[in-house]
Amino acid sequence: MTASVHDLITLSPKDSCNTKLAAGPWDFDTVPGYGPGSSQADRLPDPVSRPGQLPERYQLMPEPELQERILAAKATLGEELVILGHFYQRDEVIAHADFVGDSFQLANAALSKPEAKTIVFCGVHFMAETADILSAPEQAVILPNLAAGCSMADMADESSVETAWEEICETYGVDPENTLPDAEGKLSILPVTYMNSSAALKAFCGRHGGIVCTSSNASTVLEWAFERAHRVLFFPDQHLGRNTAKAMGVPLEQMPLWNPRKALGGNTAEQLREAKVLLWHGFCSVHRRFTVDQISQARAADPGVKIIVHPECPMPVVDAADAAGSTDAIQKFIAACAPGDRIGVGTEINMVNRLAAQFPDRTIFCLDPVICPCSTMYRIHPGYLAWVLEELVAGEVHNQVSVEPEVSVHAKVALDRMLAAKPKA
Ligand code: 13P
Ligand code: SF4
């Protein structure tokens, strides 16, 4: 028997893949901050920024008191502070954000308040690193819980990408510094990193004629790349790379997967020579949960249902959906639907629930019956936000994310290219 749309939307949060996390992420966190699933490859912040575990009093504080304290600290800090929040963040935290958006919008937001002394980033580590690179040098960027990393970002580390690059360049017979275009005026290959990657990989792209993309501007970025190179190495998310390049007409046979544990990524030299997009073997554990079967069930229960998914979902899921797009595109799609419409969404549950509350005249539900938050994003509990804000009022900066200048300078080259590559309407 197929589930009705009603069944799909009335599953309670106890069906979540990780209920403990919802209650108290500090159970998972370690001193000085990186817990399982966070970007453990990232450099720990400078000791002067005083990383630390959440003091016990904040762990025990009732939710209403945390909310009051956050509001009071925000009021005291006034224009000195700007809080940025990603769409996947929990509501109790998003309520305090000055800007809410997708990763492209938040990168722009980090640039837009040079008068603020501190940017508190309620997102994940790679987003805070990006804000630090793009913001003014005197601004401090704080990630309230340093354990809020991204497991996808951890799937491509600097040394594996360097090794892959050398092997690839050797196969194409080009210098790994990759500075010389051929007679057609094009490079043999250039690197494209998804925003969900460490600052070191963004710097790698900056140094090798490459660029950063987000899920909202990935096709503009690939067009930019193909004007300058015959091929791209796309990391870490294979699905975003495949979905975007396929929509641009690149045949699947020209998109080999690069497995960093295998020689030539598990490919023959011939396959690499034919390739247009080399896809790194990375994925998002939240978006990988979405399946074609879930879409078929939703359509069987309600043939009029509309389906939109994030492009981090596997290709067959994107193909079976009516539309795919970044978190901002998903929000716009739902806003453009009519009252009474039913919409199944393939993305993170906090965002889906918020959209359902925002548009009560539409039926909005998550395609995945096991409600799974982005467990690292979810580590920004209001307890952490209250703590870092009250410490700021007391003149202390905790959990500052600061990228080393020699990394930052090259990463900024690739990020500036990304900012210029506007998402398509
Ligand atoms: P967006 O760029 O769509 O906000 O996505 C960020 C992200 O991490 C999705 O998993
Ligand atoms: Fe990373 Fe996936 Fe979370 Fe996005 S949803 S931050 S890709 S783990």
CATH number of 17-153+376-404: 3.40.50.10800
Asked if pLDDT for residue 48 goes beyond 70, the answer is: no
Asked if pLDDT for residue 347 goes beyond 80, the answer is: yes
| Ligand 2, pocket-test mutation among 21, 87, 289, 376, most atoms within 8 A of CB | 376
Query: What is the atom index within ligand 2 of the atom nearest the CA of 150?
Result: 1
The pLDDT score that the predictor gives to residue 105 is: 96
The predicted-structure confidence for 114-138, as pLDDT tens digits, reads as follows 999 999 999 999 999 999 999 999 9
**Residue 237 Cβ < 6 Å to ligand 1:** no
Average pLDDT over residues 217-238: 97
The pLDDT score that the predictor gives to residue 375 is: 82
> Residues comprising the binding site for iminosuccinate?
86, 103, 194-196, 215, 310-312, 327
**Residue 102 Cβ < 6 Å to ligand 1:** yes
Asked if pLDDT for residue 6 goes beyond 70, the answer is: no
The pLDDT score that the predictor gives to residue 1 is: 32
Same fold, 17-153+376-404 and 287-366: yes
> Residues comprising the binding site?
86, 103, 150, 194-196, 215, 284, 310-312, 327, 374
Using DSSP's 3-state secondary structure scheme, residue 194 falls into strand
Q: Where are the domains of the chain?
A: 17-153+376-404, 156-285+408-420, 287-366
Phi-psi region of 267 (alpha: psi -120 to 50; beta: other; left: phi over 0): beta
Distance CA 117, CA 278 (A): 41
**Residue 5 Cβ < 6 Å to ligand 2:** no
Query: Rounded to the nearest 10 degrees, how much is the dihedral formed by the CA atoms of 294, 353, 424, 191?
Result: -70
Contact 282, 235 (CB under 8 A): yes
CATH of 287-366, one of 3.30.565.10, 3.40.50.10800, 1.10.600.10, 3.40.50.1110: 3.40.50.10800
The pLDDT score that the predictor gives to residue 39 is: 52
The predicted-structure confidence for 64-107, as pLDDT tens digits, reads as follows 999 999 999 999 999 999 999 999 999 999 999 999 999 999 99
**Which amino acid residue places its CA nearest to atom 2 of ligand 2?**
284
The pLDDT score that the predictor gives to residue 334 is: 98
Query: What is the atom index within ligand 2 of the atom nearest the CA of 153?
Result: 1
**Residue 127 Cβ < 6 Å to ligand 2:** no
Asked if pLDDT for residue 319 goes beyond 80, the answer is: yes
**Residue 347 Cβ < 6 Å to ligand 1:** no
Residue with tokens 């492009």: 311
**pTM for the whole structure:** 0.91
The predicted-structure confidence for 292-308, as pLDDT tens digits, reads as follows 999 999 999 999 999 99
The pLDDT score that the predictor gives to residue 54 is: 83
State residue 321 phi and psi, 5-degree precision: -85, 165
Kindly state the tokens that stand for 220.
Answer: 């503009």
